[in-house]
Amino acid sequence: MKRENLTMLVDFYEMTMGNGYFMQGLEDKIAYFDMFFRKIPENGGVALAAGLEQFVDYIKDLKFTEDDLDFLRKKGFNEGFLDYLRNFKFKCDVWAIPEGTPIFPGEPVMTVRGPVIQAQFIETMALLIFNHQSLIATKSSRIVRAAQGRPVMEFGSRRAHGASAAIMGARAAYIGGCAGTACANCEPDYGIPALGTMAHSWVQLFDTEYEAFYKYAQIYPDNCVLLVDTYDTIKSGVPNAIRVFDELKPTKKGIRIDSGDITYLTKKVRKMLDDAGHPDCTITISNSLDEYLIKDILLQGACIDSFGVGERLITSRAEPVFGGVYKLCATEDEKGNVIPKIKISNNVEKVTNPGYKKVYRLYDKDSGYAFGDYLCLADEPEPVEEDLKAVNTTAAQHYKNLYNYVAKPLQQQIFKGGELVYQLPTLQQIRAHREDCLAHTWEECLRFENPHIYNVYLSTKLWNLRNQMLGNVPKE
């Protein structure tokens, strides 16, 4: 897929600060930034990481054109800084949690270390990509889980917030578990199955509904899915579909319902199809669905084989903001010593965890299920099987002894000195990884309402550093 140069898609303060850092002689100052989020959308129990591949593409394409430099010159930027940008070469180290991995508030999904101008400069695109795709992957995962094994098709292109949101949203939905997308160019570009049937206009264009169905079945005998609610689902649509199935005998047949009382209609239609000798005819429904509606109609006994979900998925309509942030957590002095930094706020949730950190997922040795994540300073030893004292930050803040666990690091190094050192997985591999991760996540954490709170623990060393820094706020 051809990529446009998005180097200048930045918040303007990243340019003003970069210019300022340069004029202060700080262009080589090493800084560490954490990208994390504070709250799972819709008060859910689990979020999913997505968008890393597009972030890698963005970094690989970073370059400033002369037009970019002319624009910045007109804005009054220093000529030395413009020369720096003209010869720009990304030199940062980047660590990130792989796509498809469950993620939780407060832990670094990405850590960037490098010259402060560069590490600061990539903030906007890192957040833009991560916030959007993680939001849609998280929402689609909820919808797919509600469908209880029935395929979910992403139908939201026309309701997405622009072309890029449609394409990248379809990619994220596929990571979240959707079976395919209505967005046609996602199949040649990303290998995501392009799926679809007909619109009401096809039925309206012909003199009769029967003729519309007959002509469609002639053209697509191996995938004949008829939209039966243009006029009257029970009295017209399904009887005409059955007539066409009887006459042309398509090898793969189905109907789609896009309006009305889904539970009532699907029960009625299923009996009509079975009585007519078409138990193999599938029923697909669409029409402003989300995980709550899907869950309810299935509990009511609706007879459904697959779902098409559009606007409430592609826009995550119930809560359309993911809320990831990008914060300075440390710098290095001239000797390479890491100097922790902290952001303090009257809002407790906005106080950051200082220092260069690592994050581990803890699995119960007996069940194999993840029971918490452990955040520690990078110079601390990797947690081992022996008892581990940590601070539980997701409930009342208190010390807890962790035991009988296996710890696995979550972040992987993506760039080293600006060079890509990570083998990007295929979308199929990402989907398989997501499925495996959720298979080792407690069902209680996956509830839509009042899910069990997944614990994120801080090492005692990190907790003490945080408290020490909170008690030593720089004086004016």
Are residues 291 and 180 located together in one domain of the fold?
Answer: yes
Q: Is 111 inside a domain boundary?
A: yes
pTM of the model: 0.96
Are residues 79 and 23 located together in one domain of the fold?
Answer: yes
Which CATH number does the domain housing residue 225 bear? 3.20.20.70
Partnered with residue 56 across adjacent β-strands are none
Q: Is 382 inside a domain boundary?
A: no
pLDDT category at 348 given cuts 50, 70, 90 is confident
- What domain count does the chain have? 2
Q: Is 369 inside a domain boundary?
A: no
Look at residues 306, 224, 232 and name the one whose alpha carbon lies nearest to residue 265. 232
Q: Is 472 inside a domain boundary?
A: no
Are residues 189 and 114 located together in one domain of the fold?
Answer: no
Taking the CA atoms of 326, 331, 337 and 340 in sequence, report the sign of the dihedral they define: negative
Between CA 341 and CA 473 the distance in angstroms is 11
Which segments of 4-51 does DSSP mark as H helices, in order? Answer: 12-23
* Helices 209-219, 238-248: inter-axial angle, 10-degree rounding: 40
Q: Is 471 inside a domain boundary?
A: no
pLDDT at 356 over 90: yes
Q: Is 463 inside a domain boundary?
A: no
Are residues 199 and 151 located together in one domain of the fold?
Answer: yes
Are residues 164 and 302 located together in one domain of the fold?
Answer: yes
- Secondary structure (DSSP) of 367-417: T--EEEEEEEETTSPPP-SS-EEEEE-SSS-EEEEE-SEEEEE--EEEEET
Which CATH number does the domain housing residue 438 bear? 3.20.140.10
Are residues 149 and 44 located together in one domain of the fold?
Answer: no
pLDDT digits (tens, 9 = 90+) for 366-390: 999 999 999 999 999 999 877 899 9
What's residue 476's pLDDT? 45
Boundary of a domain, candidates 287, 314, 341 = 314
Q: Which residues of 349-364 are buried (b: 16+ CB within 10 A; e: fewer)?
A: eeebbbbbbbbbbbbb
Are residues 111 and 156 located together in one domain of the fold?
Answer: no
Q: Is 459 inside a domain boundary?
A: no
Element (H, E) at 181: strand 180-181
Are residues 309 and 327 located together in one domain of the fold?
Answer: no
Are residues 221 and 299 located together in one domain of the fold?
Answer: yes
DSSP code of 74? H
pLDDT digits (tens, 9 = 90+) for 20-71: 999 999 999 999 999 999 999 999 999 999 999 999 999 999 999 999 999 9
Residue 90 domain boundaries: 12-136+320-360+411-453
Mean pLDDT, range 175-184, rounded to an integer: 98
